[in-house]
Every structure is written in C-alpha cells, then in structure tokens.
Chains A and B, each alone.
Chain A
Amino acid sequence: MHKLKIGPANSFFGFIAAGLIIFIVSSKFDDLLVYQGASVMMFVIAISSIILLTGYSGQISLGHGAFLGVGGYAAALARNNLNLPIIVCVIIGVLAAAIAGALIGLSAARLSGPYLAGSTLALAVGLPSIVNQFDSLGGEQGLFFDVGAPPAFLGEGFSPYRWFFYAATMAMLISVWGIRNLLNSRYGRTWRAVRGNDVAAQLSGINIARSRILAFTVSAGIAGLAGVILAMTLGTVSPGAYPLVLSFSLATGAVLSGVNTLGGVIIGAVTLVAIPEIADSISHRFGGSEVMTTNLPGILVSTLLILTVLFVPNGPVEQMRLTRNKKRAHAQR
C-alpha cells in the first residue's frame, strides 16, 4: 500500500487551511454564535489536554478544572497588577498552570487508577476554595479580566465577541497543532509505551516517573491556556467559573471525543456547548417547566457519556477507523 510521508510542513498548512475556513464561515454568524464558538474553542483546548494526559499517558484526572483556574487567575493577576500586554499574561497563565501541573505530577506519578482519580477530585474541590483565604484573589466575586478592545486594524466597532472568537480560534489552532506534533513525536510514543506496559517500558530504559510528570506538566499548561480563554470570554475570574462540574465536563468531553486520539476532539467540545442549547429548545418546544430546563442538559450529557462508554469506548473516530480496518481486512479475503 502507498505510504505517503507526511512531514510537519504539510500538517501545518492543513491547520492554516482549517483556520481560514473557520474564519470565513464564522463571519456570517451573529454575536451569540461566535460567543459560543469561543466556548467551543476553549473546550477543544481543554479536552485535548485531557486526551494527552489520559489517552496517551494513561493518567486520569478528574480535577483539570483546577488547572484552568490557575491559568485564568494567573493571567488576571498579571494583567491587573502588572499591566502587562495580553500575550504576556496568557503566557504567564500557561506557565503558572504548568508549574502547578508539575507539582501535582510529582506527587501523582506514583498513583494510578482510582487513587489518582480521587486525588485530582480532591484538588478540583480544594483549589477554588482557597481563593477566599487570600484577599488579593478577589474572593467569591472574583477579579475582572479585561483583555482590552479588539486591535485597531480590525476596524472601528468590531465586536469584541467576534474578537474573542478569533483569539480563541488562533489559540486552539496553535495548541492543537503543537499537541499533535508532540503526540506524534518521541514523547508521545514514550507516553504510550508507559501506559501500555510500564514494566516493559522501564526495562527498555524509559524513566517512568519523568515521563508521567512531563505529561502532567504539559497537560496542565495547555489546560491553563484554556482557562485564560475562558476568563477572556467571561471577563472575570471567580471560583464559580471553575467548579467541580467543569472538571467532570472535561472528562466527559474527552470520552465523547475518544480519549485516545486527537481527531475527534471537536465532537466533544461541540457537544458540551450544544447540549444545553438543545435541551433549552426541547423543553421550550414541549412546554417544559424551569425544572426541566435546569436538569435536562445534565441528563442528556450523562446519558450520552454512559452510552459512549458502553458502546463506543474508544471514541467515534477510533471506532470508525477500526470498523474501516475490519472491513478492509474482510474485503481482502
């Protein structure tokens, strides 16, 4: 069979192409849709960080929301107190989250399965609450995060929400391209090796602890980027913006996308943003009460998650590939 060698250059152009398509198509959308689009991009970034950590490195995290929070708060603090340009604040957010990830990774490297899950769960619940301990963190109300007006070259009166969407999309394209290359590189292979059979990996000279800590660090840093994007769209950071349910949503989104490959990440992200809207229309169509509107999204998402784990455990993208390979193998007989 023909095997084309795809070097980094080609996939780079592929990403540029995707970006252009997104920009062109979205110019027709109204502000509400682009605002939601920015949320989708945020979820894409956050979910890919989970795919890296769980799908590739095999470490489960139920508390990634905490890393988003670290990123968001670090960026907001840098912006408010040091008045740095936004790009620098974003980088600060990513670095802060990465450092947090390294620290957690150090302790978590020896844990696995439910122990890791429970520890990250405790982190997700624990971290936001310390915000109330330190005055400078703004307490329950949180801090403002003002990224400023859209750049002048976009023209007067350019909608800030459209600008958020562009910024989020650019962040998404850059980070996903970066992650993809990382996953296809030696590091990605090492992670997969450790996840598959850590004894064998160790025997072949891989330092397991270092590999896992690295995964945590990178994953947390990316999650921090998502956190900054989230803060940008809300205009504020507060403990309420990074609740436990966010961490659960990310895990859910990762499973819905297929936790082992990056290809389906957009599916999970769109589902997470679209479900509340769909639930809203359903309950309005059927004359539902407020109670229904509140609870329906949770029920829909949970059901989807359970069905996915049961029937499409590898995620839709991987599933399609497996089915295709099976068919191909079958056809070759």
Chain B
Amino acid sequence: MINLLNTFLNGITSGAIYSLMAISMVLVWRSTRVVNFAQAGMALLSCYFGYEAVQRTGSFWIGLVVAMIAGALVAAVIEFGFMRILLKHSSQGPIASVAPIIATLGLLGLIKGVIGLVWGNADVVIEPPFSVVGFKIGENTLTFSPLKLLTLVTVTVLLLIMTWLFQRTNLGLALRASAHEPEISRLAGVKVDLVRTLGWALAGAAGAAAGMLQAITGSGGMNPDSIEFRLLLVFGFIAAVIGGLDSMIGALVGGMILGLVLAFTLTYASGSLVFITAFVLLLVLLIVRPQGVIGQKAGRRA
C-alpha cells in the first residue's frame, strides 16, 4: 500500500516537471511551428544563471526568478537572432522540413559546449530550499517530502499564471491569433513578430523553471552532460506529443501520464526499462491517436 502511494506521489511530482517542460515546447511549437530540441539546453543555461544567483544570495527563490528571467531573455535572443534567419533561409528546397530540427540540434551542442567552457563539466549543486526528508504516515516515511510538495505547488502556480495569461489577457489572445492566423492578425494590427518573440520568452521562462525544479529534486547536481537534462529533453518532448502538440492542457495531461507510467515501471518493473517504456508509450500513442490525448485532429505533417 505504502509502495503504491509512494509510486503515485513520485509519478505526479516528476510528471509535473515534465509538464512544465512540455508546455515550454508547446509554446514554441504554437508560435513558430518548430520543435526546438535546444529547449532543454536553453533551460540548462538559464539554470546555471540561477545557480550563480543562488551562490551569491543564498536564496533558491531568487535563483528561480533569475533563472526564469534568464530563460526568457535567452529564448528571446535566440528567436530573434537565430530562428528568424534560419527560417528565412531554409523555407524552400528539400531541406525545409529537416533544417530547423537539425539547426536546433546544433544549437543544443553549442550551448552545452559553452556551458562546459564557462562553468566546467563537473557537477554543480543547488541547495534545495526545503527539507528532503519525507513526510511520515504512522511508522512509514514516504518518498514525498516538503521539497516535492513545493515542486508540485510551484508548477501548479506557474501553470495557473500561464493559463490566465493565455486565456484572459490580450497578450494571450494575440499569441494564439498570431500562431494560427499570422496574416489576419497582422491585418488586425497585431505585431506578429514581436508577439512571436514573446511566446518564445514565455517558453524559455517555463523551461528554466522546469530545469531548476529538476535540479533540486533529482540527483542534486547538474552538468552539461547530465542525464537529467537529457531526460528533460526526451520526456518533455514525449509529454508534449502525448498531450497533443497544440494544447497546453494537453501538455499538462501528457506530463502527468508520462510521469505516472514511468514511476510505476520503475517500482514494479525495473529501472532499465524506463526509457524503452517511454518510447513504446510514445509510439503506441502516435499510432493509435496521432493527435494526442487532447489535441484536435489536424494535419500531422509538419
């Protein structure tokens, strides 16, 4: 019984982080129709800035805010300075579908290399702000600690803020409009390019938050080659696809489903099957319900 509870709690905690990463990828997809594999790298970079802030101020929260701001800036700069040029150059020819994907891969490699150059390849640790000791139920200690509770709360708050932003504000309306109908939006006076950069900035902030939370709840350290950021990359993408690349709610649902499935695989099967389970889950879903759990049926051809 305790095992079940532990597994469930583990699942939704890690699922929450994947959701955040998935949302960041969905945001980018909705604004530019590009899957940005460098997203995790950008998140990692922002977390290093966050790390510097934590080192200097001793506060995780300041670090989180700094990381999110850094994430927004990094994303905006990349969208403005890199993606636009890329998309302009490669919109024709046989390379068109492949170019943005490969280019973002290149960007990922570049970011990792730069991080290594500046901060070194050894692990860098961010102190968790809350206790890692699990809550007790009677005699048993759960794997759920104040820190993990904090993670869930933080993700929920961020998600609420983003939903509000998207559904209730003019900015959100502009973002949704420019993604779906850029020409009409332009005619309606929306500064489509600016709005697109803002979309990326939001995605960058979300990704940074996911990264910071992962850094404190995972094995405790981060480095350019870290497994955890590889996880974030792969699982964030899988979660986004499971939910349907077009929907934010989908990203949340996808993240949770993924987190739970993996947690159960971990506890009841074996650690080495986790990645392959994620792969199978992804494949099955894409075959059975290509639009994702929530998504609308639309052209699946990118």
Contact = CB atoms under 8 A, between A and B. Distances in A.
Interface of A: 54-55, 58, 60, 62, 107, 110-115, 117-119, 121-123, 125-127, 129-133, 195-196, 244, 248, 251-252, 255, 259-260, 291-292, 294-296, 298-299, 301-303, 305-306, 309-311, 313-314
A311 B95 CA distance: 12
Contact of B106 (A111, A112, A129, A306): A306
B279 interface: yes
B35 A118 contact: yes
Interface stretch (B49-57, B112-120, B209-217, B248-256): B112-120
Nearest to B245: A114
A111 B288 CA distance: 12
Interface of B: 29, 34-35, 37, 82, 85-86, 89-90, 93-95, 97-99, 101-103, 105-110, 112-114, 116-117, 120-121, 224, 230, 233-234, 237-238, 241, 245, 270-279, 282-283, 286-287, 290, 300-302
Contacts of A251: 102, 105
Nearest to A55: B94
A125 B275 CA distance: 7
Contact of B237 (A60, A118, A305): A118
B107 A299 contact: no
Nearest to B99: A309
A298 B112 contact: yes
Contacts of A107: 283, 286-287
A298 B94 contact: no
A252 B290 contact: no
Contact of B105 (A111, A248, A299, A313): A248
A112 B116 contact: no
- The secondary-structure label for the interface of chain B is helix
Closest 7 CB pairs of A and B: A113-B302, A302-B109, A299-B113, A305-B106, A114-B35, A295-B116, A302-B110
A118 B97 contact: no
Given A114-B302, A305-B106, A299 B94 contact: no
Given A110-B287, A305-B102, A306-B107, A129 B302 contact: no
A118 B29 CA distance: 13
A112 B90 contact: no
5 contacts: A60-B101, A110-B300, A118-B35, A119-B286, A313-B90
A60 B116 contact: no
A296 B86 CA distance: 24
B93 A314 contact: yes
A307 to B, nearest CB: 9
Given A305-B105, A311-B89, A314-B95, 9 more contacts: A62-B101, A114-B245, A125-B230, A125-B275, A125-B279, A129-B273, A255-B102, A259-B95, A309-B90
Contacts of A298: 109-110, 112-113, 116
A260 B34 CA distance: 21
